Chain A
Amino acid sequence: MSFLDVKDLKIHFPTDDGLVRSVDGLTFSLERGRTLGIVGESGSGKSVTSLGILGLHKGGRAQISGEIWLDDEELVAMSAEQVRRLRGKKMAMIFQDPLSSMHPYYSVGHQIIEAYRIHHDVSKQVARKHAIDLLGRVGIPEPARRVDSYPHEFSGGMRQRAMIAMALSCDPELLIADEPTTALDVTVQAQILDLMRDLQREFNSALIIITHDLGVVAELSDDILVMYAGKCVEYGKADDIFYQPEHPYTWGLLGSMPRLDREPTERLLPIKGSPPSLINVPPGCAFHPRCPYAERTEGRASTEVPDLAPTERGHLVRCHMPRTERRALWENEIKPVLETQ
């Protein structure tokens, strides 16, 4: 069994308008020292997944089923109080927007010290020293002085560093970063990505990085899971997803991005339409209304949900098209167009 094993995770929210199936049967696993990238557009369920693993939907209206095994402990059936004990120490989260996820009334140091002292029986002085240490490690200049600063006194990049320091304060073994660099400028983004990579190597933690940016995912991930409308549509090694993708949605994502590493094309190849509402997910394959190849499935696209089936390369794809057809499409039609970019 892997360090983290998520099996058939479902997180549904009942609302007045109907049941929102934010996460609908997600299965993946992750070892220590490895990085999983979860990619998808807004509303695909990526953030709900991360909050679900941390147990932050407990006590709300969410209906959660499935299993989450973290180091031989099952989290879905656990009480909120039990998960709370694991949170911070065993697993921690880096949020997207550090300004709204830090308390504006307390100094940055205070917030790190608080988290540390919940899990460690140490004096304030010891915890403070630890906080200064951590702030220095994540590259904040003059940590001994900055430990008493308030979040608003930090720049965006420094706040994100402080956020990372806070998440690392108890040496968590599982770190989930939800769009950690989306709010940052590119030069600062590059610094933060480097920092996360270095720290992961040092702590040998398991890292889940959630983002919509395929570039960020390519920088960090060993494995990649592509989500669409609450379901995994493609899951495999980073190299397979980038060089041998088999799902039309992944092709669409790759074709939509203008890229700096290739000659610019005349036109981008967008995916038609827009992501579906999770209350009203299209029947059958959720992607079929936007899929240019939906007619090739003899009508099954709109009636049957395709299985997440393994390819011979070992990565998983949820598509009705026969494998040979998908491979041929990729090799003959998609790849040549993408590569002339």
Chain B
Amino acid sequence: MSENEPLLSVHNMEKHFPVTAGLFRRQVGAVKAVDGISFEVFKGETLGLVGESGCGKSTTGRLVTRLLEPTGGKVVFEGQDITHLSQGKLRPLRRDMQMIFQDPYSSLNPRHTVGAIVGAPFRIQGIKTEQGIKKAVQDILELVGLNPEHYNRYPHEFSGGQRQRIGIARTLALKPKLIIADEPVSALDVSIQAQVVNLLEDLQSELDLTYVVIAHDLSVVRHISDRVAVMYLGKIVEIADRKSLYAAPMHPYTNALLSAVPVPDPKARRDRERIRLTGDVPSPLNPPPACRFHTRCWKAQEICKKVEPPLEKLADGHQVACHFPENAPVATAGAAADDAAQA
């Protein structure tokens, strides 16, 4: 992690979608999809954003790329506050900030050729390339492992993994600084997933990219991220570097999430003690008061229902929002010592 200025920083960002009812569309409530989250992304790193469906991770991705406008808080990109910039003023910024979408089927226009899709950013931004757009597009296709001769083909002629590569090629066209990848591999088969994960990593080191990877798959996130933020019902409950988060999670929710992941090892299942969470994630329309996890938490006490735990720094680079964190600093220090010994 670099010590320099963050590329992207988010302060207390909120997105409340109004819920209206009745003849006059009176607002009767709000879905608090993202409810006051703060984080920073440094140049060259990958921040993973994990959580279950409805926790606000995709909304977060759309807010920082300003596909949605935050209802509160601040988004700062390269020192510039972009929270309320107009579409016109945002356009030049879009060169530096791109998004990879989850579904390679619906995010590519079926009536455009690959050349048109990947070349669109050049046309929209009015960029002149030395040897013409076609050459530039073919170079990018080659970079992501597609055949440059497929320039004139349509999306339906490609497999899912190849389509995802087209989506990645499009985001790379203008050499962005920050890429937000929203579930980039979840729609792909296992063997193809690995290809795309490797491609994302290669491109990062080649082009010096910064990623925010949004995913529900904890093993993919661990593989690809330097730091990981865990979200629950519109809040960040824990944010830490990859090693400490996976080795010594402090928030009970992170712990439960990790223990719920099935392990491809038949022997391990026999000796594994699993934390069973009961019930589903509550509705973000009416989230539980104070600590939002208290309804499913086995450590919850009176205070959890009354006082919201702040996101606090409990160890170096490890922030947690919990009244009763696990693996509190002593354990973390131990794990860090182990890592140091290994290195």
Q: Which residues of A contact B (CB under 8 A)?
A: 41-42, 155-158, 185-191, 193-194, 212-219, 221, 238-239, 242, 252-261, 264, 267-272, 274-275
Q: A157-B280, A260-B246 are in contact. Are A215 and B261 (CB under 8 A)?
A: yes
- Scoring B residues 265 to 304 as 1 if CB is less than 8 Å from chain A, else 0, what string do you get? 1111100001011101100000000000000000000000
A270 to B193, CA, bound (A): 8
- Scoring B residues 247 to 274 as 1 if CB is less than 8 Å from chain A, else 0, what string do you get? 0000000001111111111111100001
List, in ascending order, chain B residues with CB within 8 A of A253's CB: 190-191
Contact B220 A41, beta carbon cutoff 8 Å: no
Is B216 in the interface zone, CB < 8 Å from A?
Answer: yes
Is B218 in the interface zone, CB < 8 Å from A?
Answer: yes
A155, A254, A260, A274: the one within 8 Å of B192 (CB): A274
Q: A256-B194, A258-B222, A261-B268 are in contact. Are A187 and B256 (CB under 8 A)?
A: yes
Is B197 in the interface zone, CB < 8 Å from A?
Answer: yes
By the criterion of a CB under 8 Å from any partner CB, how many residues of chain B are at the interface? Answer: 44
Cβ < 8 Å to A, chain B residues 189-205 = 189-195, 197-198, 201
Contact A41 B218, beta carbon cutoff 8 Å: no
Q: What are 11 A-B contacts with C-beta separation under 8 Å? A: A185-B281, A187-B260, A194-B276, A218-B263, A218-B264, A218-B265, A255-B194, A260-B219, A260-B261, A270-B191, A272-B195
A157, A158, A189: the one within 8 Å of B260 (CB): A189
Most B Cβ at <10 Å: residue of A218, A238, A254: A218
List, in ascending order, chain B residues with CB within 8 A of A185's CB: 52-53, 216, 281
Contact B260 A186, beta carbon cutoff 8 Å: yes
Q: A42-B189, A187-B260 are in contact. Are A270 and B265 (CB under 8 A)?
A: no
Contact B246 A256, beta carbon cutoff 8 Å: no
B51, closest chain A residue (CB): A185
Contact B263 A261, beta carbon cutoff 8 Å: yes
B262, closest chain A residue (CB): A215
List, in ascending order, chain B residues with CB within 8 A of A272's CB: 195
A157 to B52, CA, bound (A): 12
Is B223 in the interface zone, CB < 8 Å from A?
Answer: yes
A190 to B276, CA, bound (A): 8
The minimal Cβ–Cβ distance linking A211 to chain B, given in whole angstroms, is: 10
Q: A187-B257, A257-B190 are in contact. Are A264 and B264 (CB under 8 A)?
A: no
Cβ < 8 Å to A, chain B residues 153-174 = 159-162
Contact B258 A260, beta carbon cutoff 8 Å: yes
